Structure 1
Amino acid sequence: MIKPFQLGSLPVSHWKNGGGETREIVNIVSPDAAFLWRASVATLQSDGAFSLFDGVDRVITLLVGGPLWLRGGEVNHRLLRWQPWSFAGEWPLATEGIITPGRDFNIMTQRRRATAQVKVVTTAQTPALNGVAFVLQGNWELAGERYEAESGICWQDQTPGELVPLSTDATLLLAEVMLR
């Protein structure tokens, strides 16, 4: 399965804890959990707590907005634009320092069954068999089609082939999921 998406046309839903909104890109279901892996883009309107997800690993990447802090327990992490950061879904984290609305990309995997790697790239890539490619800026060829900022593809159990930059400013968020 290779599925294209436009961020603006994805349905909006509320966070698990009701503290914000997200647009789900993909949700690969699991017979014994809410998902095997899922990816979404959340809107950051104001400071607040993250939803807790036991047994889940997360990677968050700030897409739009100023730097902010993720704090809780022993964690005191500065989240910067386009710099992915991994953390356990059980960690009681909250955002601090949101001044203007922003957005983040979030990918979650069931810890015992999958893992995700997220990177921001500007060169051609040949990704793993599961994942999401989200154009941050410029133009890209993804699975043989042209994509612009705030669009992309997700795929499962097959490779989309080579992902190719088509403009000098082309920047892509690439999330690859490896099943265990």
Structure 2
Amino acid sequence: MEIIRFAELKAQPWRNGGGVTREVASHTASTSSAESPGPNGGWDWRVSIADVSKAGDFSAFPGMDRVLTVVEGELLLLSVDGAEHPLEKYRPYRFSGDAATSGALPTGDIRDLNVITRTGAFKGYTSIVELSKKRAHPVFEGQLGILLQGQAAVTPGAAAAGPAAATEPTTLARYDAVVGSDTDTPEILGRGFLAVVSIDRVED
């Protein structure tokens, strides 16, 4: 069972000085970085968490699809190719990485969850689910479960632990990510909200 601790992620400043990004996970591109210039050269998909502290332009990600979800703060006013989209907390929004994109902060700083995938190779999805202390939420292969709010703990699935094994739950801190698996499917119990990020490979 793999847990990515948010506190251990390194903050990378934006080129325009408008915020910082912490990469949660990424997948090395199937093509060489020389064939994929720009900020997205070198990977086919990336999941990251960004702090936005100043209005301004977003970096372009040509050849990519994006799903952005506000996870802290009230509102991001996103402009995509000139059309304004008010993004409220926990409402994922999909748009093209080729689009001219900028953000305004009418209610103050925000934090957002970004899922960026190479068009035609992968498709990314973000779902926000409410956790329960009585019914565990599984995280499968190709998924990340990211604790957005509340208190939660994770254990390996019964298939991994064995029917007689006593497995101590591992406590999750805010924005910690659980890497999914089909062989020892992690299960998350608690109170609060979980982002479930799914990365699906696009079949030819």
Q: Same fold (TM over 0.5)?
A: yes
| Cα shift readout 1:99-134 (whole Å, capped 9, x = no counterpart) | 422210101111111101101101443344212211
When residues 46 and 121 of structure 1 are mapped into structure 2, their CA distance, relative to the original with a 3 A threshold, is: same
Pair 1:152 & 2:160 matched: no
Shift of 1:98: 4.3
Deviation for aligned residue 1:46: 0.9
The alignment status of 1:54 with 2:79, answered yes or no, reads: no
- The more displaced of 21-30 and 8-17 is 8-17
Match of 1:28 in 2: 27
When the two structures are aligned, how many residues end up with a matched partner? Answer: 175
Rounded to whole Å, the distance in 2 between the matches of 1:65 and 1:163 is 28
Superposition CA RMSD, Å:
2.1
Structure 1 19/68 Cα, relative in aligned 2: closer, same or farther at 3 Å? Answer: closer
Structure 2 length as normaliser, TM-score?
Answer: 0.76
Whether the aligned pair in 2 keeps the contact of 1:116 and 1:177 (CA below 8 Å) is yes
AA of the residue aligned to 1:53: F
Please give the TM-score of this superposition, normalised by the length of structure 1: 0.85
**8 Å contact from structure 1 (residues 70, 77) kept in 2:** yes
Structure 2 unmatched runs, 5+: 32-40, 157-169
> 5 Å matches for 1:1-180?
3-15=2-14, 19-32=18-31, 33-123=41-131, 124-144=136-156, 145-155=170-180, 158-159=181-182, 161-166=185-190, 169-180=191-202
- State the identity %: 23
Contact kept? 2:155, 2:188, Cα under 8 Å:
no
One-letter code aligned to 1:64: E
Which consecutive segments of 4 or more residues in structure 1 shift more than 6 A?
Answer: none
- On the 8 A contact 1:122/1:165 being kept in 2, the answer is no
Alpha-carbon shift at residue 170 of structure 1 (Å): 2.3
| Gaps in structure 1 of 5+ consecutive residues | none
Distance 1:148 1:18, change over 3 A: closer
Aligned AA (1:31): S
Q: 2-side partners of 1:93 and 1:22: how far apart?
A: 17
Aligned residues of 1:138 and 1:149 also touching (Cα < 8 A): yes
Structure 2 vs 1, CA of residues 170 and 19 (structure 1 numbering), >3 Å: closer, same or farther? closer
Partner residue in 1 for 2:160: none
| 8 Å CA contact retained: 1:117, 1:175 | yes
Query: How far did 1:139 drift?
Result: 2.7
